Structure 1
Amino acid sequence: MNKELKKQGNEKLLMIMMLTVTLSSMSILMFNFVLPQISKEFQLTNSQVSWVTSAYTLLYGIGTAIYGKLADRYKLKNLLIFGLLLFAIASLLGFFSHSYLLLLVARCLQAAGAATIPATATLIPIRYFPLEKRGTAMGTVFIGTALGSAIGPIVSSLVVTIVNWRWLFCIPLLVLLTLPLYMKYLGDEEGTNTRIDWLGGGLLALSVAQFLLGVTNDVMWVTGGIAVLVLFIYRIRLAKYPFIQPQLFKNKTYISYLILAFLVTGIGYSLFFLTPLFLADVQNLPVNLIGLAMVPAATATALLNRQGGKIADSKGTPTLFFLASSLLIICFFMLSTFIYSTSMLIAIFLIIGNVGQSFMMIVMSKSISLTLPSEHSGVGMGLLMMQNFISGSIAIGIYGRAVDMAGESPWNPFNQLSIGTTFSNIFFVLFALHVFILIVYILSRRVTSN
Structure 2
Amino acid sequence: MQKTISKQTRIIVAAILLTATFFSLASQTMMVTALPVIQHLMHVTLDTAQWLTTGYTLVIGIVTPLSSNLYEKFTNRTVFLGIIGTFIIGTTMGCGAHQFWLLLLARLVQASASGILMTYTMTALISIYPSEKRGTIMGISSLIISTAPAIGPTVAGLILQVLSWRWLFIIVLPVMVIVWVIGFVKLPNFSPTQNIKIDILSVGLALVGASMALTSITTFTTNAHQAWFLLIGGGILLSIFAIRQFKLTNPVLQLRIFKYHSFSIMTAICILAFMILLGTEQLIPVFTEGVTGTSSFVAGLVILPGALVNATVAVFAGRWYDHSGPRYPVLLGATLILVATLPLIGMNKYTPLWLITIDYAIRLAGNSLIFSPAMSEAFRDLTLEENSHGTALNNTLRQVAGAIAVTLCIVLAGIPHSLTVGTHLAVTIISSLAVGIIVLFLWYLLQEKKAQSN
User: Structure 1 residues 303, 4: CA separation in 2 closer, same or farther (over 3 Å shift)?
Assistant: farther
Query: Structure 1 counterpart of 2:404, which letter?
Result: I
Q: What is aligned with 1:210?
A: 212
Runs of at least 5 residues in structure 1 that lack an aligned partner in the other structure:
407-417
Distance 1:198 1:336 in 2: 45
Q: How many angstroms does 1:168 deviate by?
A: 1.9
Q: Deviations over 1:119-177 (max 9, x none)?
A: 12321331111111112112212333454345423432333343332222123321121
With normalisation by structure 1, the TM-score equals 0.84
> Does the CA-based 8 Å contact 1:269-1:395 persist in structure 2?
yes
Q: Pick from 205, 220, 223: which aligns with 2:229?
A: 220
Matches within 5 A, 1:40-59: 40-59=40-59
Over aligned residues, Cα RMSD in angstroms? 3.5
Distance 2:161 2:23 in 1: 20
Q: What is aligned with 1:177?
A: 178
Q: Pick from 266, 273, 278: which aligns with 1:269?
A: 278
Distance 1:231 1:16 in 2: 38
Please give the secondary structure, in 2, of the residue aligned with 1:190: coil
Matches within 5 A, 1:117-132: 117-132=117-132
Q: What is aligned with 1:107?
A: 107
Q: How many angstroms does 1:40 deviate by?
A: 4.4
Q: How many angstroms does 1:65 deviate by?
A: 1.9
> Does structure 1 residue 231 correspond to structure 2 residue 240?
yes
User: Structure 1 residues 448, 326: CA separation in 2 closer, same or farther (over 3 Å shift)?
Assistant: farther
Query: Structure 1 counterpart of 2:321, which letter?
Result: A
Distance 1:65 1:284 in 2: 41
Distance 1:233 1:436 in 2: 26
Select between 276-285 and 44-53 the one with higher mean Cα deviation.
276-285
Q: How many angstroms does 1:210 deviate by?
A: 2.0
Q: What is aligned with 1:193?
A: 195
Distance 1:427 1:209 in 2: 21
Q: How many angstroms does 1:87 deviate by?
A: 0.6
Runs of at least 5 residues in structure 2 that lack an aligned partner in the other structure:
220-226
Query: Structure 2 counterpart of 1:446, which letter?
Result: K
User: Structure 1 residues 219, 289: CA separation in 2 closer, same or farther (over 3 Å shift)?
Assistant: farther
User: Structure 1 residues 224, 116: CA separation in 2 closer, same or farther (over 3 Å shift)?
Assistant: same
Distance 1:107 1:253 in 2: 34
Q: How many angstroms does 1:261 deviate by?
A: 2.7
Distance 2:194 2:80 in 1: 18
Q: How many angstroms does 1:283 deviate by?
A: 7.0
With normalisation by structure 2, the TM-score equals 0.83
Distance 1:366 1:387 in 2: 16
Query: Structure 2 counterpart of 1:358, which letter?
Result: S
> Does structure 1 residue 348 correspond to structure 2 residue 358?
yes
Q: How many angstroms does 1:234 deviate by?
A: 4.1
Number of aligned residue pairs: give it: 440
Q: Deviations over 1:31-85 (max 9, x none)?
A: 2333344444444444444443333222222112212332133222221210101
Q: What is aligned with 2:69?
A: 69
User: Structure 1 residues 270, 177: CA separation in 2 closer, same or farther (over 3 Å shift)?
Assistant: same
Distance 1:272 1:306 in 2: 21
Distance 1:14 1:199 in 2: 34
> Does the CA-based 8 Å contact 2:32-2:285 persist in structure 1?
no
> Does structure 1 residue 449 correspond to structure 2 residue 452?
yes
User: Structure 1 residues 67, 222: CA separation in 2 closer, same or farther (over 3 Å shift)?
Assistant: same
> Does the CA-based 8 Å contact 2:23-2:172 persist in structure 1?
yes
Q: What is aligned with 1:135?
A: 135
Select between 85-94 and 70-79 the one with higher mean Cα deviation.
70-79
Q: How many angstroms does 1:27 deviate by?
A: 1.1
Matches within 5 A, 1:228-307: 228-245=237-254, 247-276=256-285, 279=288, 288-307=297-316
Q: Deviations over 1:307-358 (max 9, x none)?
A: 2211222222334334433433443356568998754344333222212212
Distance 1:161 1:280 in 2: 13
Query: Structure 2 counterpart of 1:129, which letter?
Result: Y
> Does the CA-based 8 Å contact 1:14-1:137 persist in structure 2?
no
Q: What is aligned with 1:144?
A: 144
> Does structure 1 residue 394 correspond to structure 2 residue 404?
yes
Identity among equivalent positions (%) equals 24
Select between 162-171 and 433-442 the one with higher mean Cα deviation.
433-442
Select between 240-249 and 208-217 the one with higher mean Cα deviation.
240-249
User: Structure 1 residues 365, 187: CA separation in 2 closer, same or farther (over 3 Å shift)?
Assistant: farther
Please give the secondary structure, in 2, of the residue aligned with 1:115: helix
Please give the secondary structure, in 1, of the residue aligned with 2:31: helix
Please give the secondary structure, in 2, of the residue aligned with 1:72: helix
Distance 2:205 2:106 in 1: 24
Q: How many angstroms does 1:305 deviate by?
A: 2.0
Distance 2:293 2:439 in 1: 33
